[in-house]
Amino acid sequence: MSDATIIAGSQIKAAGALLSLLSAHPDLPAGIACLEKLQAGDRTPFEWGIVVRHHYSLSDFEQWRAALRFDSDRVALDTSDATTNWLQVKGSWRGVPVEMTGFFTFAEPTAAQVLTCHFCGTAKPDVEVAADPFAKEINDEEWLIPLCKDCYGDRCDEI
């Protein structure tokens, strides 16, 4: 005799709940839905539930979270992976546990790097690391320094 939770019939309740979930919100964005063993609570046994994954937009995730009235305070954030992060919230629908995940890529904003010109001491966007034209022409030396456009021009004029 098979374990009652691993025969196909044990999935019917969750499959019915998935059908009713989609029927109740036919205009929301489609996620990737499947049936998996979930726990309704930390201490409850695993049972067949609905797993929905949103890979394209956190907006999709949020629309579903709001529609299902899953508490935003219970949304967990995972940023432990360097490239893929996710929000996840658990709840229930028609007595069936639901786990919803929204994947996204989180990138730390990078501050625009502004260099300071070696000659005029000014930090401005046109400062680039370049070979000093004077050192190159006069001393045949590749001296790489941050130079602004004006100072680059001045160094050229000095040759």
- Given the rule CB under 5 A, which residues bind Zn ion? 117, 119-120, 148, 151
Q: Which is nearer to Zn ion, 71 or 157 (CB)?
A: 157
CB of 125 to Zn ion, least distance (A): 12
Distance from C-alpha of 60 to C-alpha of 83, rounded to nearest angstrom: 20
Q: Which is nearer to Zn ion, 34 or 123 (CB)?
A: 123
How many Å from the N-terminal Cα to the C-terminal Cα in the chain?
Answer: 93
- 107: β partners: none
Distance from C-alpha of 136 to C-alpha of 89, rounded to nearest angstrom: 62
Distance from C-alpha of 51 to C-alpha of 125, rounded to nearest angstrom: 49
Q: In the structure encoding, which two tokens stand for residue 88, read together?
A: 């996840």
CB of 135 to Zn ion, least distance (A): 15
Q: Which is nearer to Zn ion, 104 or 134 (CB)?
A: 134
Q: Which is nearer to Zn ion, 130 or 151 (CB)?
A: 151
CB of 114 to Zn ion, least distance (A): 13
CB of 151 to Zn ion, least distance (A): 3
